Amino acid sequence: MARLDHAEDNGRYVLWDRDRFESMPSLVVFDAAWWRSRRRLTGEAAGRGAAYFLEGLDGLPWVLRHNRRGGLLARVNHDRFLWTGVEHARALAETRLLAEMRVGALPVPAPVAALAYRQGAFYRGDVITERISGAEPLADRLLQRPLTHGIWRELGSVIARFHRAGIHHADLNARNVLIDAASAVHLIDFDKARQRRQGRWCGPNLLRLKRSLDKFAAQSATFCFDDDDWRALQVGYNDSP
């Protein structure tokens, strides 16, 4: 369970797991080039929020993500956000939420550290989490082979647990669902996620995943997803205790 500590240093707001760092970690840990120079950058994943896979300082695998914008605005401003207070900085908010979800035994990555770097009216942000060992994105798994209906039901049950806890994942898609070697389900990338009262938002949030799966299926004839799979997921969601 993460025990978070925080500090501010010349416009740089840092949040970290104090069981990993005795004091505020050096800011170089948020720099992918620093890791690359030490040959501890083990891989990268493309996307709106590019992820860098690291050999962490504690010997465990970490993931470093830089907060990035999507859409048309990203063409002129790809990573700056309006500063509205430290409590609203996206990287810090995500890390605090991850710590709370871990307390609630939800299957999410363990938080390591986060940085919000303020420059005038704007800021940039970075998040470091543990990497879930032996896990791969649902989208990648379905390009290789189908899931059993039992795993689809488990996926529905897991999403229901998040919804009962009031966790609104802002980007619930087939790349932010991970399946590990034991077929356990995890959710990742809680940028812009928030905790709210369970309500009407749950249905549209679930359908966001359906649209993502349909999009992947339309792009590849070998993508293993059909209506029976979705019905199995819905059964798991509706029957979740």
Per-residue burial over 149-171, b = 16 or more CB atoms within 10 Å of its CB, e = otherwise: eebbbbbbbbbbbbbeeebbbeb
Number of domains comprising the chain: 2
Do 19 and 94 sit in the same domain of this protein? yes
Q: Give residue 68's pLDDT.
A: 83
User: For 149-178, what is the mean pLDDT?
Assistant: 97
At residue 2 the predicted structure's pLDDT band, cuts being 50, 70 and 90, is confident
- Interaxial angle between packed helices 149-164 and 202-219, expressed in degrees from 0 to 180 and rounded to the nearest 10: 140
Q: What is the maximum span of the chain, computed from C-alpha positions, in angstroms? A: 55
Of 110, 130, 150, the one marking the end of a domain is 130
User: For 184-194, what is the mean pLDDT?
Assistant: 96
Do 148 and 117 sit in the same domain of this protein? no
User: For 225-239, what is the mean pLDDT?
Assistant: 98
Q: Is 240 helix (H, G, I), strand (E, B) or coil?
A: coil
Query: pLDDT for 3-61, tens place per residue?
Result: 899 999 899 999 999 999 999 999 999 999 999 999 999 999 865 557 999 999 999 99
For residue 171, indicate whether it is catalytic: yes
The residue from 17, 126, 171, 229 that is catalytic is: 171
CATH of the domain at 41: 3.30.200
Domain limits at 39? 4-130
Full DSSP string of 199-222: STTHHHHHHHHHHHHHHHHHH-TT
Q: Give residue 50's pLDDT.
A: 75
Do 53 and 147 sit in the same domain of this protein? no
Residue 160 scores a pLDDT above 90? yes
